[in-house]
Structure formats: structure tokens, C-alpha cells
């Protein structure tokens, strides 16, 4: 298996993946999409929605199907089941229930039960490359596959034309140190903050949380008013030059209050020539940061032993 460093450095190469749609003749031209996926398998959909917020895209992270407004025309939607392993039980349930209701279903996976299900039912599906990646590291492959099923070919072209430039950096990892990071950003960048949270959780085996402006100014910040245990946290502000001026003003004021209370501050500036580059550059920086945190604790950045133990427990017979 390739080194973890090479997996991060090669992340942009995933966009060169040319997804082949099996049973493509059964793929409808949908007006909207519902993506069902868990853990690292829904991250790609999160980022697509962040790039194209007006896209009719619902992301479902649970068993079954999402509750949709009664007037929703389900015949115009494509339900896409995404599981990197192909064995995620929530996603299998999502796909099965969508098919039972005779909805349009497509599948993305590298194999497992989900691909067996797709073949058995002659569903449109894309098989991801088998390259030994943790699901959270395969975001590029899944993004490209999702965009192909959604008919967003111009976005695939944009991904391949983009210039992603993130050098390995320990700066944010050093600023986080042994503390618990709280990622604060604007609402338009909520998916980016959640991406950072998830990558830190899984790669660094570290608690991490995310919240957005202006909402956090109405509740979460109050929890630090007396300064108790504030030093256990580091407040990581994800800043975007395209944020609204009032949001930028709130960030500055919030940082000032937290510093006066003894809070630790770190800042991430989104960089890139366009929205897409900003998001992918930040995703890569998240991977480098999480990797360096794991390395300081001599932890395996790939493994998620607690999650694997949990899966064994819920599969065990009562």
C-alpha cells in the first residue's frame, strides 16, 4: 500500500478517473438527486453541494429514505446509493427501499453487496477503482462518479482543469496541538468545516466539532463565558474572502472575545482561483493537518479501530 503522504499528495489525480456507467441506458435524466451515504462516502456529495448550492441535491445519512415534502415529484429524482466498501448497511437499506418504491436508483461503490444488488436489479452503477484507500480518502473518485451520474459534465471538466496547490504543512497541526479543535466558519462554508471535523475525527482519532456564523453567536459562544476549560480547545476560524462583510465582522469580534477569555486561536484562509479550487485545497490541507496530528501521537492515520469494533458488535448475534 502506498504511504499515507503519497495518498494525500496524489489526491487531485483522482479527478482523472473516467467513470464508466454500467446499464447507462437505464440512467434517467433527473431534475434532482438524493444521495444516500455514510461516513466518508457522503463527503463528495457535501462538497458538490458546497460548490453548487442551487443544485437540487439532498444528502441522506441514515437508514431508509428521507422525509420529503408531500408535493415532491419523486419520479423526477435519481436516488444514488454511495458506499465505498459496498457493505454499509444504512446505504443498502436506502437503495432497497428506493427500489421497493419503484424510484430511479443508481449505485456507486468499489464492490461488495451494493454492486451485487445493482447487477441483480440491472441498475445503473459505477465501480470505483480498488486502490486500498480509506473511504474518506476517495472523495475525488466519488465526486467524479457522482457528477457523471448527475450529468454534470461541465463540473468534471472544471475539476480536471483546476489548479490545486497545497504543500504539506504542519502549521495548523502545531496550532491545534493536543487540544480539541472547534471549526468556525460562514454558513456557505459549513460543508468545509464539517469535512475538517470528520477528517480530524477519523485520521487523528481526536474529538472535533464544527459550527457556523452567525448562529454560533446566539448560543455556542455563551458556553465559554466564564472561561472554564477554554484552554482545552482551539478555535479554528475558516475564513473566506467571499464571505459577507457582516460575517467577517462577526468573526473578528468573536475572536477578540475568545482571546480575552484565554482561548487559543488558529486561522485557515481559503485559497484558490475559484470556489472549486478553494474547497479542494482546503480538503487537502485538512488531510495533511490530520495526518501530522496522528503522527505526533504515533497513531495509524489509516485505521479506525473503534469504528471497526463497533461494526462487529452490531453484527454479533444477541
pLDDT digits (tens, 9 = 90+) for 223-252: 999 888 999 999 999 999 999 999 999 999
Top pLDDT among 147 and 317 is at 147
Q: Is the pLDDT of residue 158 over 50?
A: yes
Fold match between domain 4-161 and domain 171-296: yes
90-144 pLDDT tens trace = 999 999 999 999 999 999 999 999 999 999 999 999 999 988 889 999 999 999 9
Q: Is the pLDDT of residue 175 over 70?
A: yes
CA distance 209 to 72: 33
On whether the 171-296 domain is CATH 3.40.50.10490, my answer is yes
Pull the grid cell for residue 174: 502545531
SS (H, E, C) 58-111: EEECCCCCCCCCCCCCHHHEEEEEECCCCCCHHHHHHHHHHHHCCCEEEEEECC
Which DSSP state fits 17?
-
Angle between helices 43-51 and 275-296 (to 10 degrees): 140
Strands 125-127 and 104-109: parallel
CB 82 within 8 Å of CB 37: yes
- Any idea where the domains of the chain sit in the sequence? 4-161, 171-296
- Domain 4-161, what architecture? 3-Layer(aba) Sandwich (3.40)
CB 191 within 8 Å of CB 46: yes
Residue whose entry in the numeric block shows the C-alpha cell 479506525: 304
> Looking at residue 1, what is its pLDDT?
44
Amino acid at each position: 500500500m502506498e504511504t499515507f503522504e503519497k495518498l494525500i499528495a496524489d489526491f487531485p489525480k483522482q479527478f482523472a478517473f473516467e467513470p464508466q456507467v454500467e446499464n447507462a441506458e437505464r440512467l434517467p435524466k433527473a431534475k434532482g438527486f438524493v444521495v444516500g451515504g455514510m461516513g466518508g462516502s457522503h463527503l463528495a456529495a457535501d462538497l458538490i453541494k458546497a460548490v453548487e448550492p442551487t443544485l437540487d441535491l439532498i444528502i441522506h445519512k441514515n437508514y431508509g429514505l428521507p422525509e420529503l415534502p408531500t408535493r415532491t415529484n419523486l419520479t423526477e429524482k435519481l436516488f444514488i446509493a454511495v458506499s465505498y466498501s459496498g457493505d454499509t448497511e444504512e446505504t443498502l437499506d436506502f437503495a432497497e427501499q428506493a427500489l421497493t418504491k419503484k424510484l430511479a436508483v443508481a449505485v456507486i461503490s468499489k464492490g461488495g453487496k451494493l454492486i451485487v444488488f445493482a447487477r441483480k436489479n440491472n441498475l445503473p452503477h459505477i465501480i470505483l477503482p480498488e486502490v486500498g484507500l480509506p473511504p474518506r480518502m476517495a472523495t475525488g473518485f466519488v465526486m467524479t462518479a457522482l457528477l457523471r451520474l448527475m450529468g454534470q459534465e461541465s463540473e468534471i471538466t472544471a475539476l480536471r482543469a483546476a489548479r490545486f496547490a497545497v504543500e504539506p504543512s504542519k502549521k495548523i497541526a502545531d496550532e491545534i496541538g493536543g487540544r480539541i479543535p472547534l471549526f468556525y466558519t460562514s454558513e456557505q462554508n459549513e460543508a468545509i468545516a464539517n469535512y475538517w471535523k470528520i477528517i480530524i475525527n477519523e485520521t487523528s482519532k481526536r474529538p472535533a466539532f464544527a459550527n457556523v456564523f452567525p448562529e454560533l453567536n446566539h448560543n455556542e459562544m455563551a458556553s465559554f463565558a466564564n472561561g472554564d476549560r477554554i484552554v482545552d480547545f482551539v478555535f479554528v476560524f475558516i475564513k473566506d474572502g467571499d464571505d459577507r462583510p457582516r460575517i467577517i465582522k462577526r468573526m473578528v469580534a468573536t475572536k477578540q472575545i475568545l482571546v480575552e477569555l484565554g482561548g487559543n486561536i488558529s486561522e485557515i484562509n481559503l485559497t484558490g482561483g475559484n470556489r472549486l479550487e478553494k474547497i479542494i485545497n482546503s480538503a487537502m490541507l485538512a488531510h495533511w493537518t490530520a495526518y501530522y496530528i496522528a503522527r505526533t501521537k504515533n497513531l495509524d492515520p489509516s485505521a479506525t479501530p473503534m469504528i471497526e469494533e463497533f461494526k462487529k458488535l452490531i453484527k454479533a448475534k444477541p
